[in-house]
Chains A and B, each alone.
Chain A
Amino acid sequence: MNLRTPLANARGLGSAKQGTEHFWHQRLTAIILVPLTLWLTSSLFMLSASDHNTILTWINSPPNTVLLLVFIISAFYHGQLGVRVVIEDYIHSEWQKISCLILVNILVVLTGLVSVLAVLKIFLGI
């Protein structure tokens, strides 16, 4: 049986060595997203007047499929990391904060998966 308080247990053990993970992942995804966003926006502008078939052909080309998937994963993760900080900064009630974070995470995973599956569906021609 441990009679020490949680604080006493934690004291002197140093940091959990995980504090920089959020910061680091945000920067990593940011660096990946700089070229990918420029690529995607310019591609979408070129496709803006295209018909359905042209868009399918564009997504179907393997380099575009791969880059699109990398963009989706990086952008949804980057967005989740950012929105999380905004929620943590502005919502002070603990249960509201946790509820919002859970909701955002569910929404990110669901819409991210929908995007990935849509790209794969087009790529595989199903």
Chain B
Amino acid sequence: MASVKGPLSPHLTVYKWQITMVLSILHRATGVFLSLGLLLLSYWLLSVASGPDSHAALSAHTSAWYGKTVLFLFTFSIYLHLCNGIRHLFWDAGLGFEIKTSNLTGIITILAAISFTLISWVAGGML
């Protein structure tokens, strides 16, 4: 952007961190991360379709500590992206734009994503 002569809008680093901004960034980040998760889903389906041996080979990785860590991050990303996505759909309908409301729905989104992640892992017997 060397050709821009006029004043630039303030860069990310000078903004005070706010919940709306954090969620906006996380929505993108989790979205990209979940797209990679689709590649894993594709690999899982392929391994299941290929037979017990290939499925067992993948399960050995997903049940190891590093595999579980990745799956935990995917779980949290799914719930955060889903809850924040619903927030976005309400915005599309013109609802919830007030600063107070969007801060509140932001906090609810984060708390819901954490709760859903923990509930899923406890209920699924993965923790």
Contact = CB atoms under 8 A, between A and B. Distances in A.
Interface stretch (B11-19, B100-108, B117-125): B117-125
A: contact size bracket: 35 or more
A76 B42 CA distance: 10
B89 A27 contact: yes
A59 B124 contact: no
Contacts of A56: 48
A35 to B, nearest CB: 10
A41 B45 CA distance: 14
Interface of A: 27, 30-31, 33-34, 37-38, 41-42, 45-46, 48-49, 52, 55-56, 59, 72, 75-76, 79, 82-83, 86, 92, 107, 111-112, 114-115, 117-119, 121-122
Interface of B: 1, 28, 31-32, 34-35, 38-39, 41-42, 45-46, 48-49, 51-52, 55-56, 75, 78, 82, 85-86, 88-89, 92, 120-121, 123-126
